[in-house]
Amino acid sequence: MKKIIAVFTFIVFAGIIQAHAQQTPVADHRQKNQRHRIQSGVASGELTRRETASARCNQRRIKKSERRAKADGVVTPIERARLDHKQDRASRQLRRDKHDGQDRPYANN
């Protein structure tokens, strides 16, 4: 009985370690922040339909890259840096799109 409990405890502990290794809290927080920025840009009319579609597509690509990085169970520092770089580029593009003077008429109606 003690062996079963020990094996079960080991499996649970290994699962917790594995789940913790796959977490990317900084990337997840940035994704959430980007989604909010896109939604506010749509609501205020700062983003055109094409800019909105492009921004959402960028976020989907970043999420796909994040899933690929997590697939083997470990997000290496190089993978983390690549994700961060992609998020930086998407953030800059979103800022450019929101402040480029193009507005979507009647966005608040």
CA dist 51 → 20, 57, 103, 109 (Å)? 35, 10, 10, 19
- Name the amino acid, one letter, at 76: T
Residues 6+ positions from 103 with CB-CB distance below 8 Å: 45, 46, 48
- pTM to 2 decimal places: 0.73
**Which amino acid, one-letter code, is at 56?**
R
Quickly tell me which residue has 């009647």 as its tokens.
Answer: 106
What are 35-72's pLDDT values in tens digits? 999 999 999 999 999 999 999 999 999 999 999 999 99
Task: Write out pLDDT tens, residues 75-93.
Answer: 999 999 999 999 999 999 9
